[in-house]
Structure formats: structure tokens, C-alpha cells
Amino acid sequence: MNEVFPFPALAGQEELKLALLLALVNPAVGGVLLQGPYGVGKTTAVRSLIDLMPPAPQPICVHGCSEDDPDAQCSDCKERVARGEPLTREEPVRLIELPLNARMEDVVGGIDERVALEQRRVLLEPGVLFAAHRNILYVDEINLLDHTIADAILDAAAQGRTFVRRGAMVRLFPSNFVLIGSMNPEEGRLRPQIMDRFGLRVWVHPLHRSDRLEAVRSGRAFRANPTAFRTLHTPRIMTLATLVARAREALPAVVASDEIEEAAVALVEALHIPSHRAEAVLLEAARAHAALAAREVTETNDLRAVAALALRQRRSPALENEVTRVVAEDTAIAEAVRDLRI
């Protein structure tokens, strides 16, 4: 396994760590967007997550062949199935990092040219979104990514699947993954449509003095001897990994009471947030928070703990001004209709 900085050794950044844990437990929160200046540990934190996820079934074949779609199986996988061999195996979860120069075909998939030339048949090959299935997909500098590619990633994250269509050929790939994006707002902002679809938003502040000193010393110790540093933190890594695994397993049984659902909607209305995704994300994050606390019913404290993450940056002053204008206009129209004399 690659030597990654241990998650429990991250200095400070409690909100960042909570958001990432919530996403690991419940991908239905809709992903995490990390915003902040360079050098505050965003990428380091994301890469450390592979220690915390339980192993998952991964496809053996590079073409993404599965037992569920025998018509799309390559010749090697057809032989494996004939011999009674599985097409997946349990492996550690991987972190898939999307390069900024990725093309749409690289992301969603396309025609396998080698198979087309050698076997004289067209095979739709999976892309990055399928590679991210049951793994973690990380998009650094997502604000610089082509808008159509960003939309495709968010669609796959929301639907849990990716359609690849080339002419008359269509293939469906599963794409259930934990989505994490990061950006430096100095280089440009995300379109409102893309921003709205990210569930949790974290502003990653520079650390305070004591935490900065801890980060410097930990970073120096890790670079000097990564193996020894990781060994020192292995018990905490294992404890946290067990907590995540248990919370993921318990999550389906965790429910939000009617009172908590009503409180979530009331909170969204009080903040004048227009998007209906807000309360859905808020409640999914609260369920994940309750699962981490080994509770089967969400409480008010769960809402309090995740409210800023789920509701931050969802208000729109421009829309609020437009609503005020429309209400005033509708009032004038209603008055004119009421005073109509015919």
C-alpha cells in the first residue's frame, strides 16, 4: 500500500475531517466540496481516506465485465465464467484522481480501439467513472474542469450509474462512489448549478498557531520515516476504520424522526434557501452523524453538527432580489385585477 499521511494525525481541521467521514459513511450526502487556499491540507486529507474504507469487490477485467451483463463480456471473461470463476475480487478501496486534461470519453467511457482492430468487434470500454465504482473519486481544482465533464461526474454520483452511448450501442456501467472535489476560489468559482449539487461544503481555513506547529512537526516526521510514522498511528487508524465500517453497516437502519424532518425543513426555510436539495442533504448528513454515534434515530444534535456543512453557500442574494421584485410585481397585478371595472 502507498504510504499516505495518516488521517488521525491531521492537525486541527475538525470540520474538514467530519465532512469526509460523513461522506465515507453515507455517499448519499452528495459528495464533499473543499474550498480554501493552497497548502492547507485538502489533498493530504483526501488521500488519507483510503486507510479508513473497508475492502470492496473490484472488477478483475479492465473492460469492466460483470456477470450481470454477459453480452458485453470480453472473450477472457466469458472463459472465466465458463470455468465458474468470479469476475470480481475483494481489494482495498482505491483513490481515483481525475486529471484536469481528461476528455469526456476518458471520463464516461468509449470504444475500445484495440478490440475493434484485433477482434473486429466494437466493445464499449468503461471510463474513470466506472473505475471509481466502490472507490473514492477525487477531482482537484474542480472549478477549472470543463463544465460538461463536471456535469457528467455529478450525474453519475447522483444516479449511481453511467450510460455510454456510441451510435446504436449503449452500455450501462455502475458508478457508486464517494465524490470529493477541491478548489481554490482565487482561480474562479463554480457555476451555481454545479455548486448546488455538491452536498457538503467545507471552507478549509489556515490553521491556528498551535495546530500549525503540530502540522509542521508531523509533516517533518512523516517525510523522514513514513513507515515509522504510520506505525505510530496504526492503532488510531484501525479504530477509526472500524468506526466507519460499523457506521456504514448500520446506516440503512438509521431514521430521521418526523420532528427532525420538520426541524430540517424549518431551518432551510428560515435561511431562505431556495434549493430543495438542502433539506435532503441535511437529513442524510444527520443520519450519517447518528450512525457514527451508534444511534438508530437522529437527534437535534445531529442537525446542529452538520447544519453548516449542508447549508453553507446555498443562499442567493441575486435570487432573493429577484423574488422581491416578482412579489412586488405580482402584488401590483393582483391589485389591478381587483380594481378592474368592466
Do the strands 136-140 and 88-91 form a parallel or antiparallel pair, or are they unpaired?
A: unpaired
DSSP 120: S
What distance in Å separates the CA atoms of residue 299 and residue 186, rounded to the nearest whole number?
A: 37
| 189 is an active site residue | no
C-alpha neighbours within 13 Å on the C-beta side of residue 44? 18
What distance in Å separates the CA atoms of residue 52 and residue 249, rounded to the nearest whole number?
A: 14
What distance in Å separates the CA atoms of residue 261 and residue 125, rounded to the nearest whole number?
A: 42
Angle between helices 258-270 and 277-292 (to 10 degrees): 130
Contact between residue 241 and residue 73 where contact means Cβ atoms under 8 Å apart:
no
Strand partners for 172: 163
Q: Which residue among 80, 134, 197, 277 is the active-site one? A: 277
| Residues annotated as catalytic (active site), given as ranges | 277
